[in-house]
Amino acid sequence: MPELPEVESVRRGLDSHLVGRTFGEVTVLHPRASRDTPNLAERLAGRRIEGTGRRGKFLWLVLDDAEALVIHLRMSGQVRITETTVPISPHTRIVAQLDGTVAQFVDQRTFGSWSLSDIDEQGIPVSLSHIAPDLLDAGLDHRGVAKRLKMRRGELKPALLDQGLVSGIGNIYADEMLWRACLHPRQQPRRVSIARLTELLHRGEEVMREALAQGGTSFDSLYVHVNGESGYFDRSLHAYGQGGGEPCDRCGELMVKTKVGGRGTTFCPRCQRRY
């Protein structure tokens, strides 16, 4: 599933290709793609794109009249910029013409969607008001988030995946930030100091920025940029996907793969001790 760096890479691509353009004909090829806005095609026609935004794993196009087109990629959604209205994939769900270019929404699993939402006074779509700021938010209070994290019951990794605490973290980057901070994914947050939890969040921001610089992480064709190219941060991963007997890049101990909170999880049993 695309996480913060991947979604931000898509947002930047849409920003460079679509801002200033006006929607022409929009064709919805699968009703699930516009399930929250059934009359999406009619409501988009003639609307100008004024900008783009993102929070966590959600991105949006800022439209005229203080409204946003919210795009949720979910498991397999892609927005591809093309020169043709002919669907580029059997999984193309929406085709939108915009002043000489075309945006196609491709979604193999049909979990993603396009929907319209009003924008609040902070510039965030109202439909995303429940989503917390993310690790790349300039105003994020890392220590404040760490204090709330410390109050969580249960295990550390599932808490990091809660989009109401801090958004944009998924399975890949949770494993990476825990590895960098030398914290066990099953550790109880209440037993970790606020200083270490703050450091964990900073390590998360660090890995997100590094991934973004490399276009995100692509393990298969389900995540690509708007031009169809893949990100290559998978070459720099130290934890996620390394549970097949690979040694830890820091200490040489064999990495362990298990499940935490129902999610596949890889960690180093020596560097990331549970206490």
Cβ 62 vs Cβ 49: under 8 Å: yes
β-bridge partners, 104: 80, 95
Quote the CA–CA distance of 236 and 240 in Å, as a whole number. 10
Quote the CA–CA distance of 114 and 72 in Å, as a whole number. 7
Instruction: Tell me whether residue 184 is annotated as binding.
Output: no
| Tokens matching residue 204 | 């998360």
Instruction: Tell me whether residue 109 is annotated as binding.
Output: yes
Report the run of H or E that residue 6 belongs to, with start and end.
helix 4-18
Instruction: Tell me whether residue 250 is annotated as binding.
Output: no
> Catalytic site residues?
2-3, 57, 263
User: Three-class SS of residue 68?
Assistant: strand
| Tokens matching residue 20 | 């200033």
Quote the CA–CA distance of 41 and 29 in Å, as a whole number. 11
| Tokens matching residue 240 | 């996620």
Tokens 């960690």 belong to: 267
Q: In degrees rounded to 5, what are phi and psi of residue 43?
A: -75, -20
Is residue 95 classed exposed, middle or buried when 0-12, 13-18 and 19+ CB atoms within 10 A define those classes? Answer: buried
DSSP code at position 179: H
User: Three-class SS of residue 92?
Assistant: strand
Binding residues for DNA: 91, 109, 152
